[in-house]
Amino acid sequence: MSQPGIPASGGASTGLQAQNGAASASGSPYTNGPVQNALMSSQVSVSQGYNSQLPGSYPHLIPAKTLNPVSGQSNSGGSQTVSPLSNYQRPGQAPYGPPVASHPVTPSLRSGPSPQMPLPTSQNPAATPMPSGSFLPGASVPSPSNWQYNYLSQTNHCPRASSQPTMTGNTNLMSPQYVSSGDSSLQNNFIKSGSALPLANPPLPTTFQPGAPLGPPPTGGPPPVRGLTPQKLTARTVPQPSFNSTSNQEATSQPTNKNPTMSRSVGYSYPSLPPGYQNTPPPSTTGTGIPLSSLNYPSGPQAFTQTPLGANHLTASMSGLSLHPEGLRVINLLQERNMLPSTPLQPPVPNLHEDIQKLNCNPELFRCTLTSIPQTQALLNKAKLPLGLLLHPFKDLVQLPVVTSSTIVRCRSCRTYINPFVSFLDQRRWKCNLCYRVNDVPEEFMYNPLTRVYGEPHRRPEVQNATIEFMAPSEYMLRPPQPPVYLFVFDVSHNAIETGYLNSVCQSLLDNLDLLPGNTRTKIGFITFDSTIHFYSLQEGLSQPQMLIVSDIEDVFIPMPENLLVNLNESKELVQDLLKTLPQMFTKTLETQSALGPALQAAFKLMSPTGGRMSVFQTQLPTLGVGALKPREEPSQRSSAKEIHLTPSTDFYKKLALDCSGQQVAVDLFLLSGQYSDLASLGCISRYSAGSVYYYPSYHHQHSPVQVQKLQKELQRYLTRKIGFEAVMRIRCTKGLSIHTFHGNFFVRSTDLLSLPNVNPDAGYAVQMSVEESLTDTQLVSFQSALLYTSSKGERRIRVHTLCLPVVSTLNEVFLGADVQAISGLLANMAVDRSVTASLSDARDALVNAVIDSLSAYRSSALSNQQSGLMVPFSLRLFPLFVLALLKQKSFQTGTNARLDERIFAMCQVKNQPLVYLMLTTHPSLYRVDNLSDEGAISINDRTIPQPPILQLSVEKLSRDGAFLMDAGSVLMLWVGRNCGQNFLSQVLGVENYALIPQTMTDLPELDTPESARTIAFISWLREQRPFYPILYVIRDESPMKANFLQNMVEDRTESALSYYEFLLHIQQQVNK
């Protein structure tokens, strides 16, 4: 394997600089590069996260005075444990190497031989360019105005583009997506065109010919498998004459277990091969005594014929398109201004044979900006669209097949997990769909536990499900899976106590204590701080919690570490006592100082032996000790796009986050502050440790009841949702493609291994890619993400998602398959980076130019008929609208009085949210709800749910006699017009007249009226579709919240921003140049 060794020979020193390694630009030692380099040269294992604990430190003894939190372990801590590279398997080696011998592990915590964890490997590490700087504070990037998504430029847009196809040099400052166009004419801010008029020409069809083949005849790639006869052993049990059989419908009717919890029964799940399987007929489905329903695959098998993955995928390849003839339209946006569908926009369906597509990964989990992958980088460059993936890998799933098997089948060369898109050459050999290596089918895999038939490797769940979870054997561990550890760190300064937050949080914890994910090993602890740090001994047997105060914040030590993080079960009463008394303990405090940095250091020390989740509540700017910060916000510059502080003012929080990452600690920051708290600096603690940031501006228990409710709802989700510990994620793609930039909260440990001390089901990620080698010999490409984590029950698991997409050779096909939401989401991530590395105005220009460049490319290269107007392919009909919405989003807007912390928080959200919520935040859905009817309603579990059409975001669509609901993802806003009908007021809001609508109303009364039932059904339905609970604000005309509502009217003109039509005119003017 590769990721440790191979890059070392090539551009390791730079190639390994973390893309989120801000320090790489600022010269801090905490770059991946130097550290990794040191590791390389000394042949140290790179599985830092799993061997990074100090030798012998895994048990609960905490070397409080000896552990230096800034010990240079930073991203890895790997220098502490040396294991030979040969422990990591290379192609051709046995799948799992011998256990690493050099990790002292406590016997008491172990039950087997010393395990190791071979980390997933990169399929082509030498060719994998370094990740570029996602967060490069202070980096001086030449003022760019558009994105060069790729390495090679076909146009003179890109005067200084490197011609190197891979990034082997120090490219952090010259990350390839930030190549300036040099075309200053494109940098003009929107210029309203006075001359362009809507054009009369009707849209003409594109040059795309549905009948034309999608590409050259296949000359390589996985060949179709056909006519393969099954092993004779199967013949008696399943009518399965060949892999191409189409008579498998009965397979779908097999018993399925709908139990969403997918509980695992170890004994039966994936039994090893039945004794004597080679000589006797396999057990029949009824003969084993094991009911099928007790098996592990509740999702049930899908009818499977080994899909012809080769040439045949083309035969029906147009079927996807023929279903959507609209998709072939060319649209003049100046004529057809309302392209917003009245129902939620669906992601495009990849143009694949339906047999392949039906096995494909759910786009909610994994999608690509281009559902048709351009064959060459040149073609991608021509399209001027970004190529990347958007992932929601740990999403809560109703159904998830879980496999327990002693053999996890992976490609011996690139370590790809076997998946639905591999091809079986025969029963004994399968060909990897990422690197094309031919692998043997292990004996155990020949047995299908679902059908209990031997000789059906192609019907195994691993080959039937694009999303699957494996129970990882001990080879995937370097130490015993950690227990769930939860540490809460509370600001108890005067300011904090004033907000009253502690009461809410403690109450919420009390309410949810038994719902914390975990088992009998769960540990919990508490730290509070103001100018000093307070620990709480919760040792079993104490009559009440003991508070221990440490006033030396210069050199923090941990008193009685063994009693501070305690077993929740054993000390539950003490924990409850503490939570009940904590809010009262500091009510008289006069201490205004905040020693957040030292408190975080203490918390880190306490947790570093085990790892876990640290939840930090902070209400002000830290003022004491390390990590103290100074106000930097200048309100007079809030509305300007220049000179605002988006970069951290200190690297303390990032360094500490990297230390945390090395010890498997993630930090979630809850910032509840009415004043500037420098979230740009504080947020680093979560960003690099794979935590999350929550922000409640102006939280106050009396003055802002809505925030109180929001915190309570979000805490409930936060405390009880699924959590994965000590996780790593790797994304692989078919040979020829290469991943080069990662977005999200994590640390890039090696070229492409994301370190996620915690992973949560609400986190999203994005990556950028390029086409490194021509894909002309390839019909299909695949992408696979593998997330290895420890569950709260202490199981090591691997969640794998595989996405398969077609390769195309023409620009038209590339445009046809563009996924405008994914493109907009990826651009938003890139724009956050650009804001930080360059400036907000650069980021804004780049967003605009992304639209101009791609539509210009479409006009000049893909449109056969040059006509005036703003011609766009159907797939991109919402592109200008979404980019305009991004420009008006809190992250990137100008001309408003957005607080700096609020802007930074919005940027954090862009980076950390799954695409679906990012899009709702950016372009909310607007519905009229005062006249809901059952027409077109859907029915779910006997409930009738109205489906009002989605309206354009323009005040034109509002009227004072109506009520309008705006769904902005985490927030629902119900604006009630002044002349709203009496019926709605009384039957839904329960008030007699408009004046009686409460100033603060955050839920609807349940009235015994059909109107109330419909409205509540609709709002509940919206809420049920997301795992968190969006607060509903009822907004009167004179309410201060009305400004928030109107701010989302993306299509309207504001003082500082163009209307949608003006924006279109501007784009048209630039495109038609």
CB of 926 to Zn ion, least distance (A): 47
CB of 2 to Zn ion, least distance (A): 12
CB of 131 to Zn ion, least distance (A): 22
Sheet strands side by side (includes 366-368): 366-368, 388-391, 765-771, 737-743
Residue 430 is given by DSSP the state: E
Question: For the chain, how far is it from start to end, CA to CA, in angstroms?
Answer: 51
413 binds Zn ion (CB under 5 A): yes
3-state secondary structure 83-128: CCHHHCCCCCCCCCCCCCCCCCCCHHHCCCCCCCCCCCCCCCHHHC
Q: Which is nearer to Zn ion, 91 or 697 (CB)?
A: 91
CB of 369 to Zn ion, least distance (A): 24
Task: Give the Å distances, CA to CA, from 145 to 324, 779, 1069.
Answer: 35, 35, 17
CB of 128 to Zn ion, least distance (A): 14
Q: Which is nearer to Zn ion, 411 or 578 (CB)?
A: 411
- Pick the stretch among 358-366, 433-441, 928-936, 1052-1060 that binds Zn ion (CB under 5 A): 433-441
CB of 376 to Zn ion, least distance (A): 22
361 binds Zn ion (CB under 5 A): no
Q: What is the dihedral of CA 1013, 1018, 1027, 677, to 10 degrees?
A: -100
CB of 91 to Zn ion, least distance (A): 9
Closest CA to 1027 of 758, 760, 672, 757: 760
Q: Which is nearer to Zn ion, 414 or 753 (CB)?
A: 414
C-alpha 212: how far from its chain's center? 37
Q: Which is nearer to Zn ion, 432 or 900 (CB)?
A: 432
How far apart CA 1035 and CA 904 sit, in angstroms, is 26
Question: Which residues in 364-393 contact Zn ion (CB under 5 A)?
Answer: none
CB of 413 to Zn ion, least distance (A): 5
Give the residue, chosen from 22, 334, 411, 550, that forms a contact with Zn ion under the rule CB under 5 A.
Answer: 411
CB of 462 to Zn ion, least distance (A): 15
> Helix crossing, 840-857 with 879-888: angle to 10°?
180
Contacts of 634 (CB under 8 A, 6+ apart): none
Q: Which is nearer to Zn ion, 40 or 432 (CB)?
A: 432
CB of 120 to Zn ion, least distance (A): 12
H/E element, 665:
strand 665-671
- Pick the stretch among 415-423, 464-472, 694-702, 773-781 that binds Zn ion (CB under 5 A): 415-423
Task: Give the Å distances, CA to CA, from 846 to 136, 153, 828, 835, 852.
Answer: 17, 16, 10, 10, 10
Question: Which residues in 292-351 contact Zn ion (CB under 5 A)?
Answer: none
Q: Which is nearer to Zn ion, 48 or 123 (CB)?
A: 123
C-alpha 443: how far from its chain's center? 36
Task: Give the Å distances, CA to CA, from 199 to 855, 863, 879.
Answer: 17, 17, 20
How far apart CA 151 and CA 133 sit, in angstroms, is 15
Contacts of 503 (CB under 8 A, 6+ apart): 583, 701
416 binds Zn ion (CB under 5 A): yes
CB of 21 to Zn ion, least distance (A): 29
Q: What is the dihedral of CA 894, 898, 902, 908, to 10 degrees?
A: 0
How many other β-carbons are positioned within 10 Å of the β-carbon of residue 66?
A: 9
Give the residue, chosen from 1, 39, 385, 432, that forms a contact with Zn ion under the rule CB under 5 A.
Answer: 432
| Residue 830 falls in which region: left (phi positive, over 0), alpha (psi -120 to 50) or beta | alpha
Contacts of 410 (CB under 8 A, 6+ apart): 95, 416, 417, 418
Give the residue, chosen from 54, 130, 361, 414, that forms a contact with Zn ion under the rule CB under 5 A.
Answer: 414
Q: Which is nearer to Zn ion, 422 or 485 (CB)?
A: 422
435 binds Zn ion (CB under 5 A): yes
731 binds Zn ion (CB under 5 A): no
Q: Which is nearer to Zn ion, 168 or 416 (CB)?
A: 416
CB of 735 to Zn ion, least distance (A): 8
Q: Which is nearer to Zn ion, 435 or 471 (CB)?
A: 435
CB of 121 to Zn ion, least distance (A): 10
781 binds Zn ion (CB under 5 A): no
Closest CA to 495 of 674, 712, 631, 653: 674
**586 touches 492 (CB < 8 A):** yes
- Pick the stretch among 403-411, 517-525, 1022-1030, 1036-1044 that binds Zn ion (CB under 5 A): 403-411
Q: Which is nearer to Zn ion, 785 or 889 (CB)?
A: 785
737 binds Zn ion (CB under 5 A): no
Q: Which is nearer to Zn ion, 714 or 772 (CB)?
A: 772
The sign of the dihedral angle between the CA atoms of 23, 24, 28, 34 is positive
- Pick the stretch among 230-238, 431-439, 610-618, 640-648 that binds Zn ion (CB under 5 A): 431-439
1 binds Zn ion (CB under 5 A): no
How far apart CA 432 and CA 150 sit, in angstroms, is 27
**612 touches 725 (CB < 8 A):** yes
How far apart CA 502 and CA 40 sit, in angstroms, is 47
240 binds Zn ion (CB under 5 A): no
What would the x/- binding string for Zn ion be over residues 437 to 456, using CB under 5 A?
x-------------------
**857 touches 872 (CB < 8 A):** no
- Pick the stretch among 412-420, 450-458, 750-758, 851-859 that binds Zn ion (CB under 5 A): 412-420
Q: Which is nearer to Zn ion, 221 or 914 (CB)?
A: 221
Question: Which residues in 514-533 contact Zn ion (CB under 5 A)?
Answer: none
Query: What is the pairing mode between strands 523-529 and 533-537?
Result: antiparallel
- Pick the stretch among 17-25, 64-72, 413-421, 699-707 that binds Zn ion (CB under 5 A): 413-421
Residue 2 sits at φ, ψ, to 5 deg, of -120, -35
568 binds Zn ion (CB under 5 A): no
Closest CA to 471 of 793, 782, 46, 48: 793
Q: Which is nearer to Zn ion, 411 or 1050 (CB)?
A: 411
Q: What is the dihedral of CA 999, 1005, 1011, 1015, to 10 degrees?
A: 80
Residue 351, token pair as written in the block: 């143009």
Query: What is the pairing mode between strands 971-976 and 1031-1035?
Result: parallel
CB of 411 to Zn ion, least distance (A): 3
CB of 1015 to Zn ion, least distance (A): 53
CB of 746 to Zn ion, least distance (A): 24
Task: Give the Å distances, CA to CA, from 313 to 248, 371, 421, 714.
Answer: 19, 15, 12, 45
Give me the count of residues in the chain: 1073
How far apart CA 180 and CA 838 sit, in angstroms, is 11
127 binds Zn ion (CB under 5 A): no
* Residues binding Zn ion: number (CB under 5 A): 8
Q: Which 3 state secondary structure label does DSSP give 710?
A: helix
Contacts of 644 (CB under 8 A, 6+ apart): 637, 638, 840, 900, 903
Q: Which is nearer to Zn ion, 434 or 685 (CB)?
A: 434
Q: Which 3 state secondary structure label does DSSP give 69?
A: coil
122 binds Zn ion (CB under 5 A): no
Q: Which is nearer to Zn ion, 751 or 891 (CB)?
A: 751
CB of 470 to Zn ion, least distance (A): 17
- Pick the stretch among 432-440, 627-635, 715-723, 840-848 that binds Zn ion (CB under 5 A): 432-440
Q: Which is nearer to Zn ion, 269 or 419 (CB)?
A: 419
CB of 435 to Zn ion, least distance (A): 3
- Pick the stretch among 337-345, 435-443, 971-979, 1017-1025 that binds Zn ion (CB under 5 A): 435-443
Q: Which is nearer to Zn ion, 123 or 856 (CB)?
A: 123
**Interface ranges with Zn ion (CB under 5 A):** 411, 413-414, 416, 432, 434-435, 437
